[in-house]
Amino acid sequence: MKYADLHVHTHYSDSTFSPEEVISLAEEKGLAAIAICDHDSVDGIAPCRKAGVAKGIEVIPSIELTVEKPDAEIHILGYFIDWKKEWFLKKLKHLRAARIERLRKMVEKLEDAGVKVDAADILKSAGKGSVGRLHLARAMMETGKVKSFKEIFGKYIGFQKYCYVSNVRFTPKEAIGDILKLGGVPVLAHPGVMGRDEYIPELVEDGLRGIEVYHTDHGSRATKRYEEMARRLGLLVTGGSDCHGLGKGKVLLGGVRVPYDLVDKLRAESSKLKAQSR
Ligand code: AMP
Ligand code: ZN
Ligand code: FE
Ligand code: FE
């Protein structure tokens, strides 16, 4: 039986792992395929592919975009995207530049809250990747002022907490629309983390094609609920670990995996979308 982990980050966003590290871990875990879903970046795809070819591991070109509702943070995954399109690369570049400004704003707010971190150091730790709250959280831990990620996100930089700054540049409909324009399959990431099931029907109206049913942060009840929802709404099912290297303490890669036939379903859907747009 072949398996895939359909939600993996690299150091081109907020994972601590390089493409080579991701691929050798995927090999160790016996995975046939992984989807590289960095936040606002596709830069990890080519190096992962290069490393993957040598080990016979398929790399599915993907993306993770963030959008918001007034009371919810929504992550949208795009699978099998045409990731070299100039207009999209330009958009991602803008998003990453805006992340730097956003980081500076969050650092200022944190200083007001009595947690002093250095924006330049954090930017250095992110290197060429999309800088994000996980980089910030690691720097916060080093100050010794905060004790856990739970405290960091629960009190300071979680969605709409005191030091949170949004980086959202588009609506859910636009993000889903962009993925469709790239011939990609738009999928709602970790709906259990979003915690607002009532938004799912409108996302489907906007063009959503799937739900990430299996995810590290989904317990058995959530998993069952989303399995049923996917069936009811006629959506594709995906799953992945959301591995961030050592970024979340534990290495998650391969901890959540799905049978390879779900990859074939995503590929078929993407082919259909690409044929339609031709
Ligand atoms: P960003 O793209 O900068 O908004 O950061 C998003 C990332 O922050 C997510 O992918 C998670 O890794 C992390 N994150 C967001 N909220 C939480 C939370 N409540 N607890 C732990 N990690 C979180
Ligand atoms: Zn992340
Ligand atoms: Fe996410
Ligand atoms: Fe993710």
CA of 278 to the centre of ligand 3 (A): 31
Q: What's the Cα-to-Cα distance from 199 to each of 71, 169, 175, 215, rounded to whole Å?
A: 11, 19, 15, 19
Token digits of residue 214: 């299996």
For the chain, give me the number of helices (H) and strands (E)? 11, 8
Ligand nearest to the CA of 135: 1
Quick check: CB of 39 below 6 Å from ligand 1?
yes
Best CA proximity match to 36, nearest among 11, 74, 58, 9: 9
- Who's near 123: CB < 8 A, 6+ residues apart? 100, 103, 131
What pLDDT, on the 0 to 100 scale, is given for residue 33? 98
Residue type at 9 in one-letter notation? H
Cα torsion 153, 216, 201, 75: sign: positive
Run of H or E including 186: strand 185-188
Task: Report the residue among 17, 104, 153 best suited for mutation to probe ligand 1: largest number of ligand atoms under 8 A from its CB.
Answer: 153
Pairing of strands 58-69, 33-36: parallel
Ligand nearest to the CA of 75: 3
How many Å apart are CA 225 and CA 230, to the nearest integer? Answer: 9
- Who's near 69: CB < 8 A, 6+ residues apart? 172, 196, 199
Which residues partner with 137 through β-bridges?
none
What pLDDT, on the 0 to 100 scale, is given for residue 278? 73
Run of H or E including 45: helix 45-55
Quick check: CB of 133 below 6 Å from ligand 1?
yes
Q: Is 205 exposed, middle or buried (0-12, 13-18, 19+ CB in 10 A)?
A: exposed
Three-state DSSP class for residue 175: helix
Task: Report the residue among 11, 16, 133, 248 best suited for mutation to probe ligand 1: largest number of ligand atoms under 8 A from its CB.
Answer: 133
Q: Are 59 and 36 in contact (CB under 8 A)?
A: yes
What pLDDT, on the 0 to 100 scale, is given for residue 190? 98
Q: What's the Cα-to-Cα distance from 276 to each of 64, 183, 271, rounded to whole Å?
A: 23, 9, 9
The minimum-distance atom of ligand 1 relative to the CA of 99 is 3
- DSSP classification of residue 206: T
pTM of the model: 0.97
Residues with CB under 5 A from ligand 3 (ion): 75, 189
What pLDDT, on the 0 to 100 scale, is given for residue 249? 79
The pLDDT tens digits along the chain (278 residues) read 999 999 999 999 999 999 999 999 999 999 999 999 999 999 999 999 999 999 999 999 999 999 999 999 999 999 999 999 999 999 999 999 999 999 999 999 999 999 999 999 999 999 999 999 999 999 999 999 999 999 999 999 999 999 999 999 899 999 999 999 999 999 999 999 999 999 999 999 999 999 999 999 999 999 999 999 999 999 999 999 999 999 887 899 999 999 999 999 999 999 999 998 87
Task: Report the residue among 7, 8, 13, 14 best suited for mutation to probe ligand 1: largest number of ligand atoms under 8 A from its CB.
Answer: 14
What pLDDT, on the 0 to 100 scale, is given for residue 248? 81
How many Å apart are CA 189 and CA 112, to the nearest integer? Answer: 33
